[in-house]
Amino acid sequence: MLLVAGLGNPGAEYANNRHNIGFMAVDEVVRRHGFSPFRSKFQGELAERNLGGEKVLILKPMTFMNESGRSVLAAMSFYKIAPEDVLIIHDEIDLAGGKVRIKRGGGHAGHNGLRSIHSHIGPNYGRVRLGVGHPGEKGKVAGHVLKDFAKADHVWLDPLIDGFGEHFPKLVDGDDGHFMTKIAEAINPPRPNAPQSSPDDVSGAAKKADK
C-alpha cells in the first residue's frame, strides 16, 4: 500500500498559489486515473484505487500547510503504513520552475509542511520536489509561495501537472528516474530529428544535376 500526500492550503483563496502545487498534482492523478471521489477523512480529503496491482491512497491534508503531519500520521496509523511507503508531493523553492526531483529521506530544508511531517513521522519518507523557483531573497520566500502562479509560469506548469498525472504509475512502480525523464520531456519536448537522405536520394539528385 502506498500513501501519496499532496501538500497545500485549503480554501479557494489559496487554490492557485505556488504553495499548492502539491494539491494540483494529486488532483490531476485522481482525475486521470479514475480514483474514487475525494471524501473527508483523517483531517483531510482521501481518494483511493488499485493501480498496478497496489492499493494507492491519495491524501490532501486540510489542516493548513504547517500542520500537514497530523493528517499524514492519522492516515498512516489507520492503515498501518510505514514511513517508507509514504510519498509527499510539495513545492520546492530551491529548484527552478518546472524542475522535478525525487528524494528519499533527509532533511526538511525549512519547508513548513515537511517540518510538520518530520515531527510526526520522522524523516524516512519519500518526497517529490516540484520546483517553483526562488524569489531571490530569503525575506521574500513567504510572499512568493503564497502568491498565485504568474501567467508566464503556465508555460511549464501546465505540462508539468499534465505529465505528473500521465506518468504517475511510474512513481507507484518505483521507477523514479523514468518518471523524472518523462516530466522533463513533457515540459521540453525533444526536437524531431531532421530527415536524413538515403543513398538512393543522393544518387537521384546527382543524376538530375548531370542533366
Domain edges within the chain = 2-210
Nearest-CA neighbor of 75 among 115, 27, 10, 125?
Answer: 125
Q: What averages of pLDDT result for each successive group of 10 residues across the chain (211 residues)?
A: 98 98 98 97 98 95 97 98 98 96 91 96 97 94 96 97 97 94 92 58 48 46
Q: Tell me whether residue 120 is exposed, middle or buried, using C-beta atoms within 10 angstroms of its C-beta: 0 to 12, 13 to 18, 19 or more.
A: middle
Closest CA to 46 of 88, 6, 87: 6
What is the model's pLDDT at position 19?
A: 97
Location of C-alpha cell 500542520? 67
Max Cα-Cα span within the chain: 83
pLDDT for residue 183: 95
To which residue does cell 483563496 refer? 13
d(CA 71, CA 33): 23
d(CA 127, CA 86): 8
pTM: 0.89
Report domain 2-210's class. alpha beta
The catalytic residues are 19
